Chain A
Amino acid sequence: MNETQATAYALNELHGKERDSFESDLAGDIKLQGELQSTSRVADALEQIMVEPHEGLEPQARERLIREIAKNQEAWQQRRKIVRFAVPVSLAAAASIAALLWVAGGKTTQAPAMAAAAASERVFVRAESTAMASGEGTKGEQPTNTLVPQKRVMPWNAKVLGADADPGR
């Protein structure tokens, strides 16, 4: 049996299953019972000699301390009020700014990019259809001022392709 457990038991620091297990061991162990008894006696004696100490703070120092505590608490409460107000306001402001940026960003960055992509696709399609109409595409000759088709699959431009494929028609 763990001696540390015997001390913990004597000091009422064993709980639950540990306590139950210790008690069942204790029942059949005379040596452990003796050890527990002498530990308990020392613990009792220690409790008796360790009485409430009588030395505290000096009365004047105590009064000063209480005044200081009151001041600190007041300051702390004020800081807390400020934080309570400032945090939600800051969060709300940050959320508003973020929302504005997001909305503005959608119009000024994403929209022009899409428009530019669509426009370049139109140019490419026009060049290709012009080349095919003039028969150049079949001859393998490329006009110098037209775009060269690479692997270009832009499904979102299907409409544009259909509409602008032959603007001359």
Chain B
Amino acid sequence: MPPEQIITEALARYERLLVSYAKEITGDLDSARDAVQETFLRLSRQDVVALEHRLRPWLFLVCRNCAIDHRRKVVRFSTEPIEDLDFASNEPGPDHRAVAAEDANRLRDLVAGLPRQQRELIKLKFEAGLSYKEMAEALKTSVSTVGVQLHDAIKTLRRQWIDENPEILPT
């Protein structure tokens, strides 16, 4: 596949996922969009064919770095501490197939209450569909660290969610 086509397809496939992921880090949509544009510009200056087999983790890794750069700029010009930025998405998701709307919103709130690093992992796993290995590559960490941190995040969610909805416990 020609390099330009690889990039165009990657843009079509990952643009929204990357914007969503970057927004998790920057806290605002405009910065997230800037980070994603920067990511694809960097991609266009790479040997795309050589990168193709590990394109997905590469995109998330570079997008993460760009988003972190944007977040630093925001913090530099803002008095607001970085941890106080509102990372939670207030927009309702369009799909509530099996989870009732209330439950879905509550679960979103619970996810929003997790530490930023764990929210990132949840996004990468359940939204972008990355494997542990790809997540480890994107976050520049080990597969076992990803496993432990994601387990901690899910355990926290499970405890909180089951506390509120004991009926979901297996009988």
Q: List B contacts of A47 (CB < 8 A).
A: 126
Q: List A contacts of B15 (CB < 8 A).
A: 56-57, 62
A13-B44 in contact given A3-B151, A48-B104 (Cβ < 8 Å)? no
Q: Mark A64-83, 1 if CB is under 8 A from B, else 0.
A: 01101110110011001000
Closest to B96 in A: A48
A98 to chain B, nearest CB (A): 30
A49-B41 in contact given A3-B155, A54-B16, A66-B11 (Cβ < 8 Å)? no
B148 to chain A, nearest CB (A): 6
- Asked whether B56 is an interface residue with its Cβ less than 8 Å from the other chain, the reply is no
Total interface residues in chain B, CB < 8 Å? 55
B110 to chain A, nearest CB (A): 10
- Asked whether A141 is an interface residue with its Cβ less than 8 Å from the other chain, the reply is no
A73 touches B4 (CB 8 A): yes
B169 touches A4 (CB 8 A): no
CA distance A7 to B17 in the complex (A): 24
- Asked whether A46 is an interface residue with its Cβ less than 8 Å from the other chain, the reply is yes
Chain B residues within CB distance 8 Å of chain A: 3-4, 7-8, 11, 15-17, 19-20, 23, 29, 33, 36-37, 40-41, 43-48, 93-99, 103-104, 107-108, 111, 122-123, 125-127, 131-132, 147-148, 150-151, 154-155, 157-158, 161-162, 168-170
Chain A residues within CB distance 8 Å of chain B: 3-4, 7-8, 11, 13, 33-34, 37-39, 41-58, 61-62, 65-66, 68-70, 72-73, 76-77, 80
Q: A11-B132, A41-B168 are in contact. List 8 more A-B contacts (CB 8 A).
A: A38-B170, A45-B104, A52-B16, A56-B16, A69-B44, A70-B4, A73-B44, A76-B45
